[in-house]
Amino acid sequence: MTLLLSVRGMTRSFYGVQVLTGVDLDIVEGSITGLIGPNGAGKSTLFNVLSGLYPPDGGRVLLAGRDVTGARPAQLVKAGMVRSFQLARGFPKLSVFQHLILYGQAQPGEGLWAAITGSKVARQREEELSEEALAVARRLRLDHVIDNPITALSGGQKKLVEIGRALMAHPKLILLDEPMAGVNPTLTEEIAAHLLALNADGITICLIEHDMALIRRLCNPVIVMAEGRKLVEGGFDEVAENRDVQEAYLGRRH
């Protein structure tokens, strides 16, 4: 059992309110780890801090044994940890293909100068990126809509593009914040199957999801957060039966 991510004592406040109150958690390589907890428990904030959107106030993060505490998003992507982000609203006309390429080009190490000057290296890289984008689109069964603008896609297809963008970074670990929210049951099943397939290919996944049936089916272990820290961890049935977890969901203080 190898730890891919190790978080210790992570804290973060906003305007004097402590939202993360000392998160200690580990993500095992090869797992699909579920992250659940009542509204406001701090799950998305944890993802925001882990992905470098906000620096932590305190604590430590090790990714594959390397200290990445406070690293910026691009450095974390390079180190193999990617978070899926909602598609940028500023680019409604961009196609699926362009979205995938855009994220691929944003990878660290891409020389903007080389791209501007149109060097041979840049052209070669562009071709590679195109092939990768096509492969990702095929894998997610988005190839038939690859030239469609994002706005023409269904909610579920947009979620798939978000996952596709993350895949363009060749991640070791993907942090997914409710990838099935608002998606119809058929596409939810499809997304679930994609997550299992990506995991089978060696990608570790940490999944925030409110649909407990999905969490039960996809995730092991399940980490429950409440009041800004980890409350319990275990198999789904084990955590579901835990009294502290039940009380946290009912909104009682413990």
Ligand X SMILES: Nc1ncnc2c1ncn2[C@@H]1O[C@H](COP(=O)(O)OP(=O)(O)OP(=O)(O)O)[C@@H](O)[C@H]1O
* 21/105 with CB nearer ligand X: 21
- Nearest approach in angstroms of CB 70 to ligand X is 17
* 12/125 with CB nearer ligand X: 12
177: β partners: 208
> Which residues sit at the interface with ligand X, rule CB under 6 A?
14, 19, 37, 39-45
Evaluated on CA atoms 24, 65, 43, 235, the torsion sign reads negative
Block residue for tokens 């060696």: 202
CA distances from 163 to 24, 143, 231 (A): 26, 14, 28
Apex CA 223: angle with CA 180 and CA 53, to 5°?
A: 65
Per-residue burial over 172-208, b = 16 or more CB atoms within 10 Å of its CB, e = otherwise: bbbbbbbbbeebeeebbebbbebbeebbeeebbbbbb
- Nearest approach in angstroms of CB 39 to ligand X is 3
- Nearest approach in angstroms of CB 98 to ligand X is 29
* 126/178 with CB nearer ligand X: 178
- Nearest approach in angstroms of CB 43 to ligand X is 4
* 30/38 with CB nearer ligand X: 38
